[in-house]
Amino acid sequence: MRKIDHIGIAVSNLENALKFYRDILGLEVKDIEEVPEQKIKAAIIPVGESKIELLEATSPDSPVAKYIDSRGEGIHHIALQVSGLEDILKGLAASGVRLIDKEPRIGAGGNKIAFLHPKSTNGVLLELCEPEQAGE
């Protein structure tokens, strides 16, 4: 585990959320991209060594849409940057940690990602994130 890579925040409307983070707080948006596999549009906002990731659902059946329907807008997940994601997942599974993703998949920015189930992480959805380029 290297650092907190980002904090994912579920929002109903990305443009409205950007009015606060970009226009009022003055933070710079690094990228906005759609991730069809996850049915989201994500805005990446660097803050020091970490990032804020604003997540807008692109489909009513996406996990982010379901999250907002049940809990409202807010912190969706915390992502920890790692190295050697495949080996980490094997070790966690062997330790009895409940994995949402048993194998890494590609997330925003081309990063390899995997989620750990909140029932194994004290109620927090944790994402393990391995940057496309080591050291990012």
pLDDT tens digits, residue range 106-136?
A: 998 889 999 999 999 999 999 999 997 654 4
Residue ranges of the chain with per-residue pLDDT less than 50: 135-136
Q: What are the chain's domains? A: 3-130 (3.10.180.10)
Q: What is the pLDDT of residue 135?
A: 47
What is the rounded distance in angstroms from the CA atom of residue 112 to the CA atom of residue 26? Answer: 29
Q: What is the pLDDT of residue 133?
A: 67
Nearest residue to 48 via CA among 76, 17, 84, 7: 7
Beta bridge partners of 74: 10
What is the rounded distance in angstroms from the CA atom of residue 101 to the CA atom of residue 8? Answer: 17
